[in-house]
Amino acid sequence: MLTNNCDINESEAAPIECARELMGTLPRLRRILLEFFPCVEGHLALTLPQFFALSCLYSGESLPSHLSRRLMVSKPTATVVVDGLVKRGLVERGAGPDDRRQVTLRLTPAGRRVCEAHRQAVEQRLCRAFAGLGTDELQRLLLALRDLQRVLQPDAQEKET
């Protein structure tokens, strides 16, 4: 069977236990990512990358290169995701601010509406879920999410083309 040099049996809260717990919960967490967040029905429906990109533009970003860094995807991937948003009439491309190689991405009025509606729907859905947790559990979750994010840094190399 599998062996591991991290295996410590003294406590449940050992790295190996967390590792196995995380591996065990991943399919479900992944499913949640897949269907919990792009949760708005009908014409508002967005994929998760589209939702992230739209939120990113909503919060002030405007250059594709910044978008690709924020979303941590390659530039061609950012182009594809933006293409989808443009095709849906949620984003417009325009001339860049400083440099004629650059492109400015702007939300259309529809894009702004969809982004706000979507963010609100996701927040409300999450709030309903988190209403099932007490204050201590919420605080624990908040801190744990930050720990997880800090400790699972992907390798520092960026997705560049």
CB 37 within 8 A of CB 48: yes
> Could you tell me which stretch among 67-75, 78-86, 91-99, 103-111 binds a second copy (CB under 8 A)?
67-75
Regarding 132 and contact with a second copy (CB under 8 A), the answer is: yes
Minimum distance between the CB of residue 95 and DNA, rounded to whole angstroms? 10
Q: Which two tokens stand for residue 42?
A: 């009908």
Question: Do 58 and 112 form a contact (C-beta atoms < 8 A)?
Answer: yes
DSSP label at residue 93? E
Of the listed pieces 11-19, 96-104, 112-120, 139-147, which binds DNA according to CB under 7 A? 96-104
Contact flag: residue 101 with DNA (CB under 7 A): yes
Spatial separation of the C-alpha atoms in residues 7 and 30, rounded to whole Å: 26
Cα 122 vs. chain centroid, distance in angstroms?
Answer: 12
65-94 residues in contact with DNA (CB under 7 A) are 65-66, 71, 73-84, 87, 93
State yes or no: residue 50 binds DNA (CB under 7 A). yes
Which runs of consecutive H residues, i.e. helices, occur in 88-134? Answer: 109-130
CA distance linking residue 124 with residue 139, whole number of Å: 18
119 binding a second copy? (CB under 8 A): yes
Residues 34-53 binding a second copy (CB under 8 A) are 35-37, 39, 41, 48, 52
Residues in contact with DNA by the rule CB under 7 A: 30, 34, 47-50, 63-66, 71, 73-84, 87, 93, 96, 99-103, 159, 161
